[in-house]
Structure 1
Amino acid sequence: MMVKQEVRDIDTPTGTMRCYLYRPDSEGLFSTIIFYSEIFQQTAPIARAATMLAGHGFVVLVPEVFHELNPIGTVLAYDDEGKDKGNQDKFTKALEHHDSDTQALVDFAMSQPFCTNQVGAMGVCIGGHLAYRAALNIDVVGAFCLYPTDIHSSTLPANPGNDSLSRTGDIEAELVLVFGKQDPHVPSEGRRLIYDRLTETGRKFTYIEVNAQHAFMRDEGDRYDPALALQIYQQAVAFFHRVLR
């Protein structure tokens, strides 16, 4: 399908959130994927990934994940300055504020005349964590989490007992987690901790480890693995076609 893009500003309890909307250029109703970016917000690789997903028949919403902490439209560069600012934002924004963002996105999707009431979540890096976190929302039925950071370490700000690892048992959605074995941000012991918690709590999940580095899906930079990225995207599309009926 061909894809058209829109820009929408959504009200949240913590301020206006710029959201980039991608949807099939076709009549009909389509399920929604909330696509959470890296710490850099909507860069060109994120926009291309969102377009690709929309072309398979989904409405894709890309929110500015740190909208409270930056001017609307902020995109951070893939350099040391951008990384430092993004990490600062990551460790400033509370998970509870990400939760209210997710609820605003779900409400927005369900109010659109071109959306069904089926909502999923997907993300990369911290966005993978936010997709995992979004699965706590009762209206999110599936989450595809690409090398999610900071779940195992519980290092993102949250109220006591409200970190994402502790809340794993509250997830009702189906999950897919994809990790690179050569990813230093989520070492083997961290990956095992997440796997064990999902198993102990009886969650419905698929766990995938591949020989890849962090950010292997990003189609810029030295760590990009095109063949592996294509394989994972195909799995993501199949997953969402199945769970977002």
Structure 2
Amino acid sequence: MMVHQEVHDISTQTGMMRTYLYRPKADGQFSTVIFYSEIFQQTAPIARAAAMLAGHGFVVLVPEVFHELNPIGTVLAYDDAGKDKGNEDKFAKPLEAHDSDVEALVSFARCQSFCSSHVGSMGVCIGGHLAFRAAINPDISAAFCLYATDIHSNTLPCKAGNDSLSRTQDIQGELVMVWGKQDPHVSSEGRKLIYAKLEETESNFSWLEVNAEHAFMRDGADRYDPALAMQMYQQATSFFHRLLR
């Protein structure tokens, strides 16, 4: 499908959130996928990934994940300065603010004539964590999480007992967890901790570890693996077509 792009500023409990919308250029209603970026917000690789998903029949919403901490439209560069600012933002925004962002995004989607009532989440890096976190919301019925950081380490700010790993039991939808075995940000021990928690809570999940480094989905980067990226897009679209009907 050809893709139509829009820009919306959505009101949240913590301020206005710039959100980039991609949808099929066709009549009808389509399921929504909230697509969470890395710490750099909507860079060119993230925009291309969102368009890829939309072309397979989804409305894709890409929110600025740190909208409270930056001017609207901020995109951080893939350099040391961008990485430092993105990590600073990551450790400044509490998970509770991400939770209220999800509520705003779901409400926005369900008010659009071209959206069905079904909503899923997907993300890479910190976005993988946020896709996982979004699934705590019962309105999110499917989450595809790629090399999600900071779940195992509980390093993101939140109220006591409200970290994402502790909230695993509240996830009602189905999860896909994808990891790179050579990813230094989530060690084997960290992955085992998350797996054990998912098993303990009897979560409905699939688990995939591939021979790849961190950010293997990011086209143009040294660690990009085109074949694996294509495989993940195929799995994600099949997953969402099955669950968001």
Q: TM-score, normalised by structure 2?
A: 1.00
Q: Which residue of 2 aligns with 1:24?
A: 24
- Give 1:47 shift: 0.1
Q: Give 3-state SS (helix, strand or coil) of 1:162's partner.
A: coil
Q: Whole-Å Cα distance in 1 between the matches of residues 152 and 168 of structure 2?
A: 11
Q: Which residue of 2 aligns with 1:121?
A: 121
Amino acid of the structure 2 residue aligned with 1:75: V
Q: Whole-Å Cα distance in 1 between the matches of residues 30 and 170 of structure 2?
A: 27
Q: Which residue of 2 aligns with 1:238?
A: 238
Q: Which residue of 2 aligns with 1:185?
A: 185
**Identity value in percent:** 75
Cα displacement string for residues 139-161 of structure 1 (whole angstroms, at most 9, x for unaligned residues)? 10000000000000000000000
Q: Which residue of 2 aligns with 1:11?
A: 11
Q: Whole-Å Cα distance in 2 between the matches of residues 75 and 154 of structure 1?
A: 26
Q: Which runs of 4+ in 1 moved over 6 A?
A: none
Amino acid of the structure 2 residue aligned with 1:197: K
Structure 2's unaligned 5+ residue stretches are none
- Give 1:114 shift: 0.4
- Give 1:220 shift: 1.8
Cα displacement string for residues 57-107 of structure 1 (whole angstroms, at most 9, x for unaligned residues)? 000000000000000000000000000000000000000000000100000
Q: Which residue of 2 aligns with 1:100?
A: 100
Q: Whole-Å Cα distance in 1 between the matches of residues 91 and 13 of structure 2?
A: 19
Structure 1's unaligned 5+ residue stretches are none
Structure-to-structure mapping, 1:220-235, within 5 angstroms = 220-235=220-235
- Give 1:221 shift: 1.1
Cα displacement string for residues 129-184 of structure 1 (whole angstroms, at most 9, x for unaligned residues)? 00000000111000000000000000000000000000111110100000000000
Q: Which residue of 1 aligns with 2:136?
A: 136
Structure-to-structure mapping, 1:1-245, within 5 angstroms = 1-245=1-245
Instruction: Tell me how large the CA RMSD over aligned residues is.
Output: 0.3
Cα displacement string for residues 179-225 of structure 1 (whole angstroms, at most 9, x for unaligned residues)? 00000000000000000000011000000000000000000210000
Q: Whole-Å Cα distance in 1 between the matches of residues 125 and 63 of structure 2?
A: 15
Q: Whole-Å Cα distance in 2 between the matches of residues 220 and 85 of structure 1?
A: 21
Q: TM-score, normalised by structure 1?
A: 1.00
